[in-house]
Structure 1
Amino acid sequence: MGLGELFVIAVGLSMDAFAVSICKGLSVKRVCPGHVLCTGVYFGGFQMMMPLIGYFLGSQFSHLITRVDHWIAFILLGVVGANMIRESFGEEEEVDASFQASSMLPLAVATSIDALAVGITLAFLEVNVVFAICFIGCTTFILSGIGVMSGNILGKKFKSKAEIAGGIVLICIGSKILLEHLGYLG
């Protein structure tokens, strides 16, 4: 596998994290470096960890993982998306809870499940796994940071409507993952 192919895989795997990062940027009045770092570490870290786990699992357990991964992503993204929509109708929170572990962990898991399957695939290819997972993680880290900042810019202009849209986007991403795995989308 060449660098070009790895780049395409890394960007492809980062797209869900990028979309969710935009939603995270919508959830705060002002983005600080800690928000960007937190989002990048969670999403980039999980995008590194999941392919590594997948690589070690190899094909031995792939049939078990692929049976439920889409349901896990669908449920996690759906719950977080519905919560975002619900919060858009309430008062603004003083505490920046949207970047705490209880919020970030389910999103990081949900957006990196497909990376687990990529890791399983890497086990069958001639590839430097350490380089590949670091490259995927760094790409996701960078794109997640850009997503948080972009979402915040949009959020300043369209706060409540953008938060509703962000929740809908998360639910749509979860639904898309589910429908693709069920064979309804190509």
Structure 2
Amino acid sequence: MLEILLLALALAADTFAVSITLGSTHQDYAKRQFLKMALLIGMYFGVAQGVMPIIGYALGSTLLGWLAEGSSWIAFLILVGLGAKMLYESRSDNGDDVRINTNHRTLLSLAIATSLDAMAAGFTLNLLAINAYLACLIIALVTGVLSILGAYIGRKSVNWLGSWAEAAGGLVLIAIGVNMVV
């Protein structure tokens, strides 16, 4: 059980960082609106992190090597592109308008990009003497909770990061993207 929890925490690290970034760009939302956004972030990231290991588990070793190699580059392009956009917009004169659009398409793209490594991790579930579906449920729950927490931390970080919050968030997204291909 400890292996599952450690795996869940490791897989949730990327979504936690992205959630902080999302929260930092929406600090002006009313509490109710921010809660709705934070719950959506947690839902998207949690479900994606829970489903991807099941896909990896089901695919086994045959297709996993090919899919894992290409998925890193897809995640890299999405995250670096979004991070570069945030960096560019953080330096603009109207910094108050800098915000990552948290519509369903953006959240789905970010959730998939940050959970592609979970698909590869799903293959390891074949090697452990555990219930893979229970493991995926735990991964989903841990990721969802950490993503909601990350959004709230991001919202509060703007108070001490000021106008640099978006630039820091952009750098974090670029770092995650680069890390995925390295």
TM-score normalised over the length of structure 2: 0.90
Partners of 1:74 and 1:97 in 2: CA distance: 17
When the two chains are superposed, the root-mean-square deviation of aligned CA atoms in Å is 1.7
Quote the offset at 1:159 in angstroms. 3.9
Quote the offset at 1:93 in angstroms. 4.0
Q: Secondary structure at the match of 2:62?
A: coil
Structure 1: unaligned runs, 5 residues or longer: 180-186
Residue equivalent to 1:21: 19
Quote the offset at 1:163 in angstroms. 0.3
Structure 2: unaligned runs, 5 residues or longer: none
Which of 23, 46, 49 is equivalent to 2:48?
Answer: 46
Match status 1:74 vs 2:76: yes
Match status 1:7 vs 2:5: yes
Residue equivalent to 1:150: 153
Match status 1:124 vs 2:127: yes
1:48-63 → structure 2 map (5 Å cutoff): 48-63=50-65
Q: Secondary structure at the match of 1:16?
A: helix
Partners of 1:44 and 1:13 in 2: CA distance: 10
Q: Which stretch shifts more, 34-43 or 81-90?
A: 81-90
Quote the offset at 1:90 in angstroms. 5.5
Q: Secondary structure at the match of 1:61?
A: helix
1:30-41 → structure 2 map (5 Å cutoff): 30=29, 32-41=34-43
Asked if 1 retains the 8 angstrom alpha-carbon contact of 2:22 and 2:100, the reply is no
Q: Which amino acid aligns with 2:82?
A: V
Asked if 1 retains the 8 angstrom alpha-carbon contact of 2:87 and 2:167, the reply is yes
Asked if 2 retains the 8 angstrom alpha-carbon contact of 1:43 and 1:144, the reply is yes
Asked if 2 retains the 8 angstrom alpha-carbon contact of 1:10 and 1:139, the reply is yes
Q: Which amino acid aligns with 1:126?
A: A
Match status 1:102 vs 2:100: no
Partners of 2:2 and 2:126 in 1: CA distance: 19
Q: Which amino acid aligns with 2:17?
A: A
| Alignment length (residue pairs) | 176
Asked if 1 retains the 8 angstrom alpha-carbon contact of 2:25 and 2:100, the reply is no
